[in-house]
Structure 1
Amino acid sequence: MTEVRMERMSWVEYRRRIDAAEPVVFLPCGSLEQHGPHLPLGVDALLSTAVACEAARRTGGIVAPALSYGYKSQPRCGGGQHFPGTTSLDGDHLSQLARDVIREFARHGVRKLALIDGHYENQWFLIEGIDLALRDLGHDCGLRVLRTEYWDFCTEDVLREVSPDGFPGFALEHAAVIETSLMLHFHPELVRPDLIPDDDAANFPPYDLYPPETERVPASGVLSSARGATAAKGEHLAEVVCSGLADAVRVAFDPP
């Protein structure tokens, strides 16, 4: 099987692939953030990388090493900054990191770049990094950039299947059924099903208050139940998400 991981290639092979085929380069983006007692801190980068690798295999792409630190965890979608292990960047630093990496890929000759985000809080800072990099490079640089969250490819049908009692929304899907099922599929050795908590879903008001009200966050850090997670659901989710992403990059970069 053709290698898709950039860090496992020599520079000679990488250059040959870029020059010969103009492949899509996938850049996974994640965070180092608590995901309850049953999942590891690196879930967001692990899952965005796994999805990117499968999409790259289907499209002849290359997967760069993930941006593994993300924007600050927020109580209503990540539990918050008060959990040990959660290690975050200021928004400007994340934007500048994305900006630098994008400019470097353009220097390599990359013309198709896909940022695959796995951390809810990253969105606007990645967009800023993309905007700044393209401003630096100029509109005639030839680089096109796609940005998406991998869960955006979950269809309504699959959400009903994995959450038959009602989907709580992606913000509360932190360390819950989707992430836990995908981890059981891609990285089962890193999941501790015996430690999945029985906490009720978090109940937040429709606003943010500062300093954050950390007492509203379940002590486990899990924002809605992961009890329904299974490896079979993870396999189904992975197929839907990875095929959707592969189709999206084909349409975006090589329209009919």
Structure 2
Amino acid sequence: MSTVWMNQLSWMDYQSRIKNTAPPIFLPVGALEQHGPHLPLGTDGLLSASVAADAAALVGGLVAPTLSYGYKSQPKCGGGQHFCGTTSVDAATLIGSVRDAVREFARHGATKLVVLNGHYENQWFLIEGIDLGLRDVGAGSQLEVMRLEYWDFMTAETLAHVFPDGFPGFALEHAAVMETSMMLHYHPSLVRLDLIPNEGPADFPPYDIYPSRTDWVPPSGVLSSALGSDANKGRLLANEVSQRIAEAISKGFRTPTLIKNSQ
């Protein structure tokens, strides 16, 4: 069966792919978090899985089911925990989930695991989960793990095209042009362009206060304007990111991976 989705395979088909082609296994990680009035709560997981599927198609990989609950939303990059629908986990929970996944994929005989993050706040806890999982499987395991955030594969040239008036930075791009455009490319039926708020970028001080100051965050939860989003920008970003991730996978692991085709 030809598919990039691991959960569409039987266990025997999956085992055959692992043994015969040693595919990179992609583990998308997202969050259930508000993304303004115009994007769905699952945006981070939807985008990480979609990017993973595009990259997997290029390198003969498989995409595991997404880890859809992420670390707690922070005001300066996700709006914070006070929004209805934002459903987060403690650091230990996320670390444990990633640790278990690393251990299980090693048990399957996988040699290449790509943890593809789509939620800004997850980063350090993914690192800890990977570290502990590799410690569990020991030095004799053949598994290598690559961790990445898909937005790091966007070039300055492309960002200048997408943001002709200046790029506000990835933290403030929460539910803004980048994510909205990519959702218009991958999941257009889930985007409500008519509900995009007309708000300027959030203005945060250079420190944090706990409990978090909810009045720092725009009421919509959008940290920078999403006006100007379109599917063409999303396609440009998605194609560049998936191609450059495939290139990183092709040379980043000990065993080279061939890029099967190009977009």
Structure 1 and Structure 2 fold alike (TM over 0.5): yes
Aligned twin of 1:173: 173
Query: How is 1:138-149 mapped onto 2 (pairs within 5 angstroms)?
Result: 138-149=138-149
What SS does the corresponding residue of 2:38 show, helix, strand or coil? coil
Aligned twin of 1:17: 17
- Structure 1 position 228, deviation (Å): 1.2
Counterpart check, 1:112 vs 2:104 = no
- Take 1:63 and 1:158, find their aligned partners in 2: how far apart are those partners? 26
Aligned twin of 2:230: 230
Query: How is 1:164-243 mapped onto 2 (pairs within 5 angstroms)?
Result: 164-243=164-243
- Take 1:238 and 1:65, find their aligned partners in 2: how far apart are those partners? 20
- Structure 1 position 134, deviation (Å): 0.6
- Structure 1 position 101, deviation (Å): 1.0
Letter in structure 1 aligned against 2:212: P
TM-score using structure 1 length: 0.98
Aligned twin of 2:131: 131
- Structure 1 position 73, deviation (Å): 0.1
- Structure 1 position 48, deviation (Å): 0.3
Aligned twin of 1:49: 49
What SS does the corresponding residue of 2:116 show, helix, strand or coil? strand
Aligned twin of 1:83: 83
Count of aligned pairs: 256
- Take 1:178 and 1:63, find their aligned partners in 2: how far apart are those partners? 23
- Take 1:51 and 1:88, find their aligned partners in 2: how far apart are those partners? 22
1:206-237 Cα shifts (integer Å, max 9, x gaps): 11110101101000000000001100000100
Letter in structure 1 aligned against 2:159: L
Letter in structure 2 aligned against 1:64: A
1:126-182 Cα shifts (integer Å, max 9, x gaps): 000000001111122111000000000000001111111110000001000000000
- Structure 1 position 199, deviation (Å): 1.1
- Structure 1 position 10, deviation (Å): 0.7
- Take 2:118 and 2:2, find their aligned partners in 1: how far apart are those partners? 25
Letter in structure 1 aligned against 2:237: L
Percent of residue pairs bearing the same amino acid type: 62
Letter in structure 1 aligned against 2:55: A
What SS does the corresponding residue of 1:145 show, helix, strand or coil? strand
- Structure 1 position 255, deviation (Å): 4.3
Letter in structure 2 aligned against 1:236: L
- Take 1:124 and 1:159, find their aligned partners in 2: how far apart are those partners? 25
What SS does the corresponding residue of 2:135 show, helix, strand or coil? helix
TM-score using structure 2 length: 0.96
Unaligned runs of 5+ in 1: none
Letter in structure 1 aligned against 2:239: E
- Take 2:141 and 2:34, find their aligned partners in 1: how far apart are those partners? 39
- Structure 1 position 2, deviation (Å): 2.2
What SS does the corresponding residue of 1:147 show, helix, strand or coil? strand
